[in-house]
Chains A and B, each alone.
Chain A
Amino acid sequence: MWTWFFQLASPPHFYRMAASLVPWLLWPALLLILVGAWGGLVLAPADYQQGEGYRIIYVHVPSSYLSMMVYVTMAVAAGIGLIWRIKLAHAVAASCAPVGATFTAAALITGMLWGKPMWGTYWQWEPRLTSELILLFLYFGYMSLRSAFNDLNQSDRASAVLALAGVVNVPIIHFSVLWWAGLHQGPSISKIDAPSIAFAMLWPLLVMILGFTLFFLGILAMRVRGEVLEREFHSRWAQDVLRGVSRVEAA
């Protein structure tokens, strides 16, 4: 059991495994996203309040879910890397940031596009959009700190501290934004009444979320390979991979 685990966590095995994993993640992700989009756009009935416009949630909700899930993944990986000094974990954290930032941006844009027909304005200082905006800033801060260091080792550890400080702050930010928004406006239109949501509306959303998650894992596997190679540059296997004489690469 444990030997299997350590083999998995050893960089060359991970490098090889990640490569073989990518198609197994990305193709099902594509399939699920297409099925989810078809279900969401065609099969699901129109909402009695929001008409066809509600269909934006089929891309907005998975994006905003990923934006947060990726941040937590990044922080957990960063914490593991910092405490147990595992380079692989730092490689995972480094790969998360750009992906998470783009999904945060997607969540913001789709949220605004949903807001225009619903509120009559693209931007409303309401809790979800505001939190999402702050999350985008957290990603930007993380990425610019990462790029500010010359030494990769130092960059890994410093950005890990920031990721941890950020993840402790995320719930605080979330609740203070909720509290702050509660003072300003009446209860905003809830996007969908969660308990009464029809199954025909729900399943495409769940399929989409699953598809997006698999897509993220696939992208992560691709990116981690590069990051691992960079961190393991001075090891024998990585140099063999680069020279193109490696069994690791061939497999």
Chain B
Amino acid sequence: MNLGLGGLFWVVLQRDLMVAMRRWSDICNPVIFFVLVVALFPLALNPRAEFLRALAPGVLWIAALLAALLSLNQLFRADIEDGTMEQLLTLPYPLGLVILAKTLAHWLVTGLPVVVVAPMLAITYHLPADAIGILLLSLLIGTPTLSLLGSIGAALTAGLRQSGVLLALMVGPLMLPVLMLGARATDIALSGDDPTGPLYLLGALLALALSLAPPAAAMAIRISAD
């Protein structure tokens, strides 16, 4: 076949991005939700600078995790409903790669905007510049892991009618290590210590998720499409 594996990856990625671009509101929703959650804390708790600064790593990471959970529901749902998944399943290509391309597309349109907006929100929490850098880095390594873990859950629930809370319940506990490491890395940077340890661990989790999540999600999507 003319289309190699790289070509397959690219074709699927490009198509998913194109579909996403036609639906601007869907792309914006997770980011708006992220901003909203982050904005709730100073309003509900206490807007003092030193208090917010101590809160910032945790709040930003929790909001990023919630935004990721919220957006996951749609990852494979449309493809299952309109029959695209049947076509992808009967193709002679490794399904894991297709899943990986779709997950990357999903992260680019929902995860990446969150990562981009996060530093601006961190400023409103009076976070110092070097801690913001670490926050950005930890989100950049951590949120793709969240999307990959979420792809398993999204694949399992893609055929179910009501799945929002179920998805969060299933995938949430699996995402906790990422949350703990990411928030802690930023926290360590905030207190002036060296955060490379948790960042390396986050990288290791990303590598693990990259290799294990797509085949698991592929297995799950075959079951959901059955």
Q: Is the CB of B157 within 8 A of A148?
A: yes
B residues near A50, Cβ cutoff 8 Å:
none
- Known contacts A148-B160, A161-B219: does B180 contact A180 (CB below 8 Å)? yes
Q: Is the CB of B166 within 8 A of A144?
A: yes
Q: How far is the CA of A157 from the CA of B208 in the complex (A)?
A: 23
Q: How many residues of A contact B (CB 8 A)?
A: 28
Shortest CB-to-CB span from B218 to chain A, Å, is 10
Q: How far is the CA of A164 from the CA of B219 in the complex (A)?
A: 11
Is residue A165 within 8 Å, beta carbon to beta carbon, of the partner chain? yes
Comparing B7-15, B62-70, B167-175, the segment that makes contact with chain A is: B167-175
Q: Which of B173, B174, B212, B223 contacts A158 (CB 8 A)?
A: B223
Q: Is the CB of B173 within 8 A of A137?
A: yes
Interface majority SS (helix, strand, loop, mixed), chain A = helix
A residues near B27, Cβ cutoff 8 Å:
none
Is residue B124 within 8 Å, beta carbon to beta carbon, of the partner chain? no
Considering only residues 170-215 of chain A, those with a C-beta below 8 Å from chain B are: 172-173, 176-177, 179-180, 183
Q: How far is the CA of A141 from the CA of B152 in the complex (A)?
A: 13
Interface size class, chain B: 20 to 34
Shortest CB-to-CB span from A16 to chain B, Å, is 31
B residues near A168, Cβ cutoff 8 Å:
212
- Known contacts A154-B226, A161-B152, A183-B184: does B166 contact A148 (CB below 8 Å)? yes
Considering only residues 146-187 of chain B, those with a C-beta below 8 Å from chain A are: 149, 152-153, 156-157, 159-160, 162-163, 166, 169-174, 176-177, 180-181, 184
8 contacts between A and B (CB under 8 A): A134-B176, A138-B174, A141-B166, A148-B157, A148-B163, A162-B152, A166-B174, A180-B181
Binding site for A on B (CB under 8 A): 149, 152-153, 156-157, 159-160, 162-163, 166, 169-174, 176-177, 180-181, 184, 201, 205, 208, 212, 216, 219-220, 223-224, 226
The 4 closest A-B pairs by CB, nearest first: A141-B170, A176-B177, A137-B173, A157-B223
